[in-house]
Amino acid sequence: MVRDTLFNPDKLLPCLEGLESGKNNKHEHLVRQLERFSDRIVGIEAQKERSIRLYAARGIANEAYIIENRNLDREIERLRKRKAEIARQVQEAAASDMVEHSIRDYCKNAKASFELCSTFELTQRFLREHIEQIIYNRSKVTILGSVPVQRGTYQSAAPVPFRIEGELDRKAIRARPHTLQPDDGRWKKLAETAVEQLPAVAKEAALSSF
């Protein structure tokens, strides 16, 4: 459960608390839209300049000039408001991209660290560094931790908690072969059981070796 989620940004993202799930793919579209609005504003301002020159050259009536300029001013104001709204959305989309980048980096680094865990001690160390708490409730298990996430270009990464919930497959655990450690007390019980099955002479020799 840990590997399936902790190393997969698509699965880890919905487990983060306080962040919206799902990928953000609007940033480039919004940037292009912002550029189009900027070009339209420039075009209308140029049209207004032409109207002023035309009025100065007496090429347009006073009333028509006033009406046209009012219409152009209203359109410029409308476009500027919309441009400001799109600029805000661009910033939000960029921040969302940074959040996803932080999560991808975390998953990549966590997987690389885990692959170096060649001993039980290294695996324990990995779990201590990446897992803050494990809660068991019968077959249900909840894993708590946090991911350092950068939300803005000039902001430092801050920990965002995650909550991974799952259920233990007890049948698979029981069916899995287990390797006994040298200091496991079950070795003595296995040895005693084997001794009981030996002939009397061999049993006495074996017992003397304990």
Cβ contacts of 129 within 8 Å, gap of 6 or more: 113
Cβ contacts of 54 within 8 Å, gap of 6 or more: 60, 65
Amino acid symbol at 29: H
Give the pLDDT of residue 207.
42
Q: Model-level pTM?
A: 0.48
Q: Which residues pair with 166 in a beta bridge?
A: 141
Series of mean pLDDT values for 10-residue runs along the chain (210 residues): 80 77 55 83 90 85 88 91 82 68 88 90 88 85 87 72 80 59 54 50 43
Q: What is the CA radius of gyration of the chain?
A: 34
Give the pLDDT of residue 64.
87
Give the pLDDT of residue 209.
44
How far apart are the C-alpha atoms of 195 and 63, rounded to whole Å? 115
Give the pLDDT of residue 102.
86
